[in-house]
Amino acid sequence: MSAVPPRRPAAGPVPPAVQSTVRELVDVSPVLVELGERFAAAGFEAHLVGGSVRDALLAAGGDAPRPPGDLDVTTDARPEQVLDLLRGWASSTWNTGIAFGTVGAEVRGTRLEITTFRADRYDRISRDPEVAWGASLTDDLARRDFTVNAMAVSLGPDRTVTDPFGGLGDLLARRLRTPGTAADSFADDPLRMLRAVRFVAQLGLTPVEEVVEAMTAMSAELARITPERVQVELSKTLLQDAPRAALELFVDTGLADVVLPELPALRMEIDEHHQHKDVYGHSLTVLDRAIALEEADPDAESPDLVLRLAALLHDVGKPATRRHEPRGRVSFHHHEVVGAKLVRRRLQALRYSREITEDVARLTFLHLRFHGYGTGEWTDSAVRRYVTDAGDLLPRLHKLVRSDCTTRNKRRAAALSATYDSLERRIAELSAAEDLARVRPDLDGNAIMEILGIPPGREVGEAWRHLKDLRLERGPLDRDEAEAELRVWWASRT
């Protein structure tokens, strides 16, 4: 077992402008001011730590200020003493993390996590530490994941910023380092490697060589982490404004081989149009384009995890379906079918919800359907089926299909865009006339049973599906036409 040893000299004085910025962060939160006063009156230290301090310092570096969310505080008070200090002031407290020295509280809508100074030790088997109380704030900061998160601001009257490992310099240089050795840090908690990936996307940081080398050498250690925690970090990365560089680090270090092996597998496959170096690069480009379309749509959910997962994974069926054709061509027939199965299996393994899993798999399955549209040869029936099969995923399918058209041939790109514009116009016209969003048979189950004189059961379902297929093929029927078609179908079965 080992603790992460501080190995870097204490940072120099924090500039006055930075001190002022962080002081304002505390002062704009009456809850933090009051918390500091309560702890100081009882003879205890209290320091704001974590993302709130980091983001305030980013503001001092020229970025737009970021309002704090939940607040993390560290203190030399023990958990039972923290609970005493919160009694009668906090509207609620919870102690689900008290075994790790953390007390949760809510004060006038502000959520706090207050943790006793720690100097944890790890068994290097799980990621759960053997909790050990720290003797000082520096001990506590030394155990944190990265130097940019190992800074604190006192909630006492002086509001002093403590930065023992040079986190401010790293933050302003957009550099990602660990307080101790990267190998020790990641051995203690392998999830930190995925956090490094996320911080590339979230904060625009670049890992130093030592961090990248440790991630590459220790990627297999991610197997110690539960799928649920891995999924949370992957999702947070994908939901950032520009996740591409982070995903490239994810793949290049071998972390993706453990978490999402279908993604690096795409690097070996050459796109059938030869417009990209490989399908992996194409998939990242599709993700970039999907994010741009999502953010440009005022009516769309943004960030949209389902769309981003589908954009990244829509071609994962290509490695298994690759075939060499005459004259040097390469085909990937039915890769959308194989891909949907692979997507479903991988997202289930990562413990994504059933709804997200099925939506991403469905988009993967449907993403090639448009290419059968040609230059508008689809019948109205085919358009209806496209809309019905997509269901409420249709707006996302529009964005995915448009993003997937990444040809560098400007004439071809313009033609594909115009063709999809044509399809969307036809969908709008049919929708206005027929309410395609709610395509259902012209007779419901009760009417079917009454007309045919049959009880509830399998035959009612078969009749309903027949009438729906008829509705998709011919459009709306009036009551008499629908009843006549139902009787003809029923007679053909007997």
User: E-assigned strands of 117-176?
Assistant: 121-122, 129-130, 152-154, 161-162, 175-176
Residue 65: what pLDDT? 42
pLDDT digits (tens, 9 = 90+) for 137-146: 998 999 899 9
Looking at residue 113, what is its pLDDT? Answer: 95
Cβ-contact 176, 207 below 8 angstroms: yes
pLDDT tens for 346-388 read: 999 999 999 999 999 999 999 999 988 877 788 888 888 898 8
Q: Please report the domains of the chain, with CATH numbers, ordered by start residue.
A: 16-180 (3.30.460.10), 190-259 (1.10.110.30), 260-438 (1.10.3210), 445-493 (no CATH)
* 116, 101 contact by CB (below 8 A): yes
pLDDT attached to residue 241: 95
206 vs 438: which has the higher pLDDT: 206
Q: Which residues contact 340 (CB under 8 A, 6 or more apart)?
A: 317, 361, 362, 364, 365
Is the predicted pLDDT of residue 6 greater than 50, yes or no? no
Residue in the structure block whose two tokens are 């990267």 = 182
400-428: per-residue pLDDT in tens? Answer: 999 998 887 888 888 888 999 999 999 88
Q: What is the mean pLDDT of residues 216-231?
A: 95
Q: Of 172, 162, 113, 127, give the one whose Cα is nearest residue 142.
A: 162
pLDDT, tens digit (0-9, with 9 covering 90-100), for 106-117: 999 899 999 999
C-alpha separations of 333 from 208, 271, 319, 325 in Å = 42, 12, 11, 11
Q: Any idea which of 179-183, 244-248, 276-280 has the lowest mean pLDDT?
A: 276-280
196 closest CA partner among 188, 187, 205 = 205
Note the pLDDT of residue 129.
62
Q: Work out the percent of the chain whose per-residue pLDDT is above 70.
A: 87
Whether the CB-CB separation of 36 and 46 falls below 8 Å is answered with: yes
- 269: pLDDT strictly greater than 60: no
Give residue 233's pLDDT: 97
Q: Across residues 164-176, what is the average pLDDT?
A: 92
pLDDT for position 434: 63
Which of 16-30, 211-225, 329-343, 441-455 has the lowest average pLDDT? 16-30
pLDDT above 50 (res 4): no
| Chain segment 44-103, per-residue pLDDT in tens | 999 999 888 888 777 655 544 444 567 899 999 999 999 999 999 999 999 888 888 999
Give tens-digit pLDDT for 54-69: 887 776 555 444 445 6
Higher pLDDT, residue 122 or 491:
491
